[in-house]
Amino acid sequence: MLAKRIIPCLDVKDGVVVKGIEFCHHKNVGKILDLTKLYVNSGADELVFYDIAASARNKLVKKKWIIKIAEITDIPFCVAGGISNLKEVEMILALGADKISINSPAIKDPYFISRIADRFGTQCVVVGIDSWYDKQENVYSVFQYSGDINKTIKTNIQTIDWVKRVQELGAGEIVLNVINQDGKKNGYDVCQLKKIRKICKIPLIASGGAGSKNDFFDLFKKVSVEGALAASVFHNKNINIFDLKKFLHKKGIPIRI
């Protein structure tokens, strides 16, 4: 059985790491390079760097941060933020990123997924999906441009349909960001993840809701996801990644320690 991955996420806006609740009310929580060093040294399996406002602003993630992160990390890292063409993908990979992640650009142009996969391989194309649960309609829907509250769009795409589509188009991995759970620290949306796992045949990463070590254990015990992404609990030092991995190992979860 493959080891589960613990993945800290740097949500970046205007050059600093931020964090909010349900993708709103973002606050400055730290410096990009300081947190990168912290996670590399504490045993993270991967690192995700998201410029959360880039797509909404029709801009590309800044090159300087990719270069600086590549210089101080020896773990795989994924970059997202306004990536909209193959030239930009090539540049970001050449600067040191191992994978790129697309979200809103993929919704705008789904075949962009296929073009990246055909040119660079499925292993380096991650599709981020921002999913919102509508209690009244009892459906999970995909949101676009969710990094900017003033430009966020609720699409007419249901999450489960989008998961099926991006797989067909060549995505190598999916990160499911559950907006309702984001920043609340009350656990991952295991219910939704179970439904998605049934139709998702590629690596699936859970994101949104981690608040304790037991939340990670509960996720890995109940859903066969390949990894868990988290931000607040790591940024605020509520959980040390090395301690988390020892805890999961003792609980029988396959993990790199």
Residue 237: burial class (beta carbons within 10 Å; 0-12, 13-18, 19+): exposed
Catalytic site residue from 74, 109, 118, 130:
130
**Is 34 one of the annotated active-site residues of the chain?**
no
Catalytic site residue from 11, 45, 51, 182:
11
Which residue has 């993708």 as its token pair? 23
**Is 45 one of the annotated active-site residues of the chain?**
no
Q: Reduce the secondary structure of the chain to three states and give it as a string.
A: CCCEEEEEEEEEECCEEEEEECCEEEEEEECHHHHHHHHHHCCCCCEEEEECCCCCCCCCCCHHHHHHHHHHCCCCEEEECCCCCHHHHHHHHHCCCCEEEECHHHHHCCHHHHHHHHHHCHHHEEEEEEEEEECCCCEEEEEECCCCCCCCEEEEEEHHHHHHHHHHHCCCEEEEEEHHHCCCCCCCCHHHHHHHHHHCCCCEEEECCCCCHHHHHHHHHHCCCCEEEECHHHHCCCCCHHHHHHHHHHCCCCECC
Distance CA 118, CA 131 (A): 27
Active site residue ranges: 11, 130
